[in-house]
Amino acid sequence: MLTLGIETSCDETSAAVVRAGRDILSNVILSQAVHTRFGGVIPEVASREHVKAIVPIYQQALEEAGVTITDIKLVAATMGPGLVGPLLVGLSFAKGLAYARNVPFVPVNHLEGHLAANVLEHQDLDKHHLTLIVSGGHTMLVEVKSFGEYLLLGRTRDDAAGEAFDKVAKLMGLGYPGGAALDKLASTGNPRYFRFPRAVMKDDFQFSYSGLKTAVALYLKKLDPNELAERKADIAASFQEAVVDVLTVKTLRAMEATGVRHVTVSGGVAANSRLRLRLREEVEARGGRLYYPSLALCTDNAAMIAAAGFYNFEKHGPGELIANAIPNLKLV
């Protein structure tokens, strides 16, 4: 069964064709460059860019997959969480297409899409696993009993991990969104150059990044410009280490508390090279297995939405065409 996936929750316009929730035939992603000059996503601008891009991106996805619209048997689109204008563009397009072609439609939770990226790519992943979702808007630890059955273990009290990366990257003049640039810079720095605070005191699964962000901001403010220029990579590596430390400690704690040995990490920050390495080492040292998506499936993309839509369709059948965009949609 071929599924067409559509993703427009933030500033990526994406369309993908996926066979049976397993094989990606195409996954076209357009990242809107227009926002870089504002240092953040402007929702109204993003909506307009999605309107311009959605049809050509959809056509390109069919073309790259070597199929036509008559081959598509299921249409899936992100309904939330995300920015309401951008969500409505993709959702309305997908619903219209499903209606016109008389094929079933499934609305998808974007966070379930991130989680599904690992199910899509790793055949040997246990149905019952732990997942760490770390993106620009979310940081959460979830026990996945099976696809669709979730137990929330913990989430961030304030900033998301990706948000912390973006804010610190901005302070350091690395552009927006700066997570990937900071990762690259940090790879040449010393993670022990300065010890930034880690919010790991309490024996729970909650996260907090606003204190760390403020600590870095104050540190940078006090620094003389020469030291900043000389030590930029060391500061980036030290900040990154603090984020990765907390994510690792809490994930290991969840492994211990639940006894679940298969762990996945997903979302944009799952692309972070230090996080991938540390988590893999630590999880494997405790007899577990760590799974992460390939880089293209970490950040927002429609292949993960097509896969999540397909798994949902298998379990519950088609969704309703009256499905609306829900900006603050929860996973659990």
Return the residue matching tokens 């997570």: 179
The distance of closest approach from Cβ of residue 237 to ligand KG4 in the complex, given in angstroms and rounded to an integer, is 12
The distance of closest approach from Cβ of residue 300 to ligand KG4 in the complex, given in angstroms and rounded to an integer, is 4
DSSP-assigned letters across all residues of 110-170: HHHHHHHHHHHH-TT--SSEEEEEE-SS-EEEEEEEETTEEEEEEEBSS--HHHHHHHHHH
299-318 footprint of ligand KG4 as x/- string (CB under 6 A): xx------------------
| Cβ atoms of 136 and 163 closer than 8 Å | yes
Give the three-class secondary structure for 80. Answer: strand
The distance of closest approach from Cβ of residue 180 to ligand KG4 in the complex, given in angstroms and rounded to an integer, is 4
CA gap 202, 58 in Å, rounded: 47
- Of residues 178 and 189, the one with the C-beta less far from Zn ion: 178
The distance of closest approach from Cβ of residue 296 to Zn ion in the complex, given in angstroms and rounded to an integer, is 13
Give the three-class secondary structure for 20. Answer: coil
Residue 5 interacts with ligand KG4 (CB under 6 A): yes or no: no
| Cβ atoms of 186 and 179 closer than 8 Å | no
98-137 footprint of ligand KG4 as x/- string (CB under 6 A): -------------------------------------xxx
Residue 272 interacts with ligand KG4 (CB under 6 A): yes or no: yes
Residues 140-179 that bind ligand KG4 (CB under 6 A): 162, 165-166, 177-179
Among 269, 279, 283, 305, binds ligand KG4 (CB under 6 A): 269
The distance of closest approach from Cβ of residue 274 to ligand KG4 in the complex, given in angstroms and rounded to an integer, is 8
Among 77, 271, 283, 304, binds ligand KG4 (CB under 6 A): 271
- Of residues 98 and 329, the one with the C-beta less far from ligand KG4: 329
Among 135, 156, 240, 248, binds Zn ion (CB under 5 A): 135
CA gap 8, 6 in Å, rounded: 7
- Give me the long-range contacts of 50-57 (CB less than 8 A, separation at least 24): 50/8, 50/13, 50/85, 50/86, 50/89, 50/90, 51/89, 53/13, 54/6, 54/8, 54/13, 54/15, 54/89, 54/90, 54/93, 55/93, 57/13, 57/14, 57/15, 57/28, 57/30
The distance of closest approach from Cβ of residue 261 to Zn ion in the complex, given in angstroms and rounded to an integer, is 26
246: tokens are 């907390």
**Nearest of 90, 80, 71 to residue 28 by alpha carbon:** 90
Amino acid at 294: S
The distance of closest approach from Cβ of residue 219 to Zn ion in the complex, given in angstroms and rounded to an integer, is 29
Q: Taking contact as CB under 5 A, which single stretch among the options 95-103, 133-141, 237-245, 315-323 is the one that binds Zn ion?
A: 133-141
267-306 footprint of Zn ion as x/- string (CB under 5 A): ---------------------------------x------
Q: φ, ψ for residue 267 (rounded to 5)?
A: 95, 170
Return the residue matching tokens 């989680």: 115
Judged by beta carbon distances under 5 to 8 A according to partner kind, the member of ligand KG4, Zn ion, none in contact with residue 271 is ligand KG4
Tally: H helices and E strands in the chain: 9, 10
Query: Using CB under 5 A as the criterion, which residues of the chain lie in contact with Zn ion when the complex forms?
Result: 135, 300
**Contact residues for ligand KG4, defined by CB under 6 A:** 10, 135-137, 162, 165-166, 177-180, 183, 267-269, 271-272, 299-300
